[in-house]
Amino acid sequence: MQQKTDPDWPRFVRTPEAAQLLDLSPRTLEKHRCEGTGPIYRKLGGRVVYSVADLQAWVEAAARKSTAHPRSKESAPRPRITGGTAAVALTPGR
């Protein structure tokens, strides 16, 4: 029989369950990981896991009152790569 862990220990979920909790696709979470815009995650033994508390914090941080609400630096547009991989446009979104 499996013993219960300490109730203060964080509950971790893998990408498919985290995506289901957030009503997103697993692929969307993977993209957020690559871009650094998603919830905090951990790699344990090569597996990606999320704590439920970090998922909740990410959702809370995304709360907005209107579309005019200012964006944080973390969600600001990134410079676009133009002309192959060597040139980088210095003005985002152009």
Domain limits, the chain:
9-64
CB contact at 8 A, 37 and 30: no
CB contact at 8 A, 78 and 48: no
CATH number of 9-64: 1.10.10
Whether pTM > 0.85 for this model: the answer is no
Summarize pLDDT for 16-33 with one digit per residue, the tens.
999 999 999 999 999 999
pLDDT at residue 87 greater than cutoff 50: no
Summarize pLDDT for 36-67 with one digit per residue, the tens.
999 999 999 999 999 999 999 999 999 998 98
DSSP state of 12: E
